[in-house]
Amino acid sequence: MNLIVRNVRMIDGTGADPVPKVNVVVENSRISWIGEGIVAPSNHPHFEDINAEDLTLVPGTFDCHEHFAGDGGQHGVRAMNTDPPEVLLAKAAGNARRALMTGQTSARDVGSPRGISITLARSVAAGALPGPRIVASGEWLQYPTTWGQSKIETVNSPEDMRRAILARIAQGAGVIKIGATGSSTDGSDPGTMGREVAQMVMDFVHGKGLKVAAHCTGFMGTREVVEAGIDSVEHGTHIDEETARMMAEKGTILVPTLSWRDYLFRASKRWGMAKKQIDSSEAVREWHKASYQRCIAAGVKIAAGTDAGGGDPMRHGNIVRELEVMVDWGLSPMEALKAATSTAAELVGTSDHVGTIEVGKLADFALIDGDPLSNIGDMRNVWAVYQGGRQVR
Ligand SMILES: [Zn+2]
């Protein structure tokens, strides 16, 4: 698709200062020219020509932590456990479309029953369904814990773990998701795998050319997988200073899913839960916030993810809410935008073709009516969305 966007304010996603007025040319799905001069060919019949004065062009965003097969909401997790696969796939397709319409042109799905997220990723890649470009894990892998969920496969030994990893890869997984910790709210439970198995998982998966993401909500389990070389810590509810320092040194990326934690606390009040549950939910939110702030102070790289569909109650298409909480709790709007674009692409492994506005990259971007650097919430004012140069909204 060929396109000229003229006179637009551009935030390229690299963290560089915004350019107040620039022209961006797209040819054959890719950005072919960016500059301030006169653009030829003007009024060429094969080019769509847009005057985007007063709009802001930003890279298409990423949500690095979604579960498309779940709708979220008060009974989202229960539905994911009981819905038949045909319904889960239909829900996943609807959720993918919803996300795309918000300017979210890429996603990582870190857990679904029956490999439905992988089926969804393949359907979108084949052009059969509208949606973000998806890298998916299928079911995540975990040693026995207190959790029994349809999006988790329980393994019982290192051999079993290797078999399950190979099965995911054969199915078409683009990332392997593991559970590193249990689910106690004070973060005190030990890691689920032990140091040796954690190391085996990293070496085995990295040897196959994939990355590993770990569900982390306890201090010791998080330390265990960070030491072993995990690529991303998901949630990171309990991260001490030493683990944060280690993450910064190793380049481990944190996907803090703050809006999920924030919603959980607010929903606990709205849904009329007992005072004890509300208090506990508030306490965990404070732990989570402090861990996130420790990571910022240590210089840990951060990528944006909402956990939509994973735990109650986050829904898909709300990455801007995540950016708002990221900013409320410590990042600048520019840093939050990086977390949802270039850093996210680095994590997902697609930074060679998406995540920033640069010549040669695929034309995945949104035009925003407003200036997200003055108000990150302006990212909701989506005027148009392009994916590979094709207007999808
Ligand atoms: Zn999740």
What pLDDT is stored for residue 277 in this prediction? 85
Count CB neighbours of 218 within 10 A: 24
Whole-angstrom distance, CA of residue 33 vs CA of residue 141? 44
Query: Do the Cβ atoms of 233 and 214 come closer than 8 Å?
Result: yes
CA of 22 to the centre of ligand 1 (A): 39
CA of 261 to the centre of ligand 1 (A): 11
Instruction: Tell me the mean pLDDT in the region 349-357.
Output: 98
**At residue 287, does pLDDT exceed 80?**
yes
CA of 130 to the centre of ligand 1 (A): 22
CA of 71 to the centre of ligand 1 (A): 12
Q: Work out whether the CA dihedral 289, 292, 294, 296 comes out positive or negative.
A: negative
pLDDT band (50, 70, 90) for residue 168: very high
- Helix (H) / strand (E) element for 177: namely strand 176-179
CA of 66 to the centre of ligand 1 (A): 6
Range of weakest confidence among 48-62, 94-108, 135-149, 345-359: 135-149
What pLDDT is stored for residue 40 in this prediction? 65
pLDDT band (50, 70, 90) for residue 145: confident
What pLDDT is stored for residue 41 in this prediction? 57
pLDDT band (50, 70, 90) for residue 266: confident
CA of 169 to the centre of ligand 1 (A): 20
Instruction: Tell me the mean pLDDT in the region 201-215.
Output: 98
What pLDDT is stored for residue 265 in this prediction? 86
CA-CA distances (angstroms) from residue 336 to 64, 154, 223? 13, 35, 25
For the record, the structure tokens of 74 come out as: 């008060």
Whole-angstrom distance, CA of residue 160 vs CA of residue 102? 40
For 41-67, the pLDDT digits (tens) are 555 667 888 999 999 999 999 999 999
Q: What percent of the chain has pLDDT over 70?
A: 98
CA-CA distances (angstroms) from residue 308 to 19, 29, 58, 250, 377? 33, 29, 22, 28, 18
What pLDDT is stored for residue 353 in this prediction? 97
For 303-337, the pLDDT digits (tens) are 999 999 987 789 999 999 999 999 999 999 999 99
For 227-247, the pLDDT digits (tens) are 999 999 999 999 999 999 999
CA of 67 to the centre of ligand 1 (A): 7
Instruction: Tell me the mean pLDDT in the region 324-351.
Output: 98
* Helix axes 319-328 and 333-340, enclosed angle (nearest 10): 140
Q: Which of 199-213, 272-286, 301-315 has the highest mean pLDDT?
A: 199-213
CA of 126 to the centre of ligand 1 (A): 25
CA of 256 to the centre of ligand 1 (A): 11
What pLDDT is stored for residue 270 in this prediction? 82
Query: Do the Cβ atoms of 3 and 48 come closer than 8 Å?
Result: yes
* Helix axes 275-298 and 258-270, enclosed angle (nearest 10): 160
Instruction: Tell me the mean pLDDT in the region 164-182.
Output: 95
**At residue 68, does pLDDT exceed 90?**
yes
Whole-angstrom distance, CA of residue 99 vs CA of residue 86? 20
Query: Do the Cβ atoms of 215 and 146 come closer than 8 Å?
Result: no
CA of 212 to the centre of ligand 1 (A): 14
**At residue 281, does pLDDT exceed 90?**
no
CA of 214 to the centre of ligand 1 (A): 10
pTM: 0.96
Range of weakest confidence among 8-12, 40-44, 62-66, 90-94: 40-44
Exposed/middle/buried for 286, CB within 10 Å: 0-12, 13-18, 19+?
A: exposed
Whole-angstrom distance, CA of residue 249 vs CA of residue 243? 10
CA of 308 to the centre of ligand 1 (A): 7
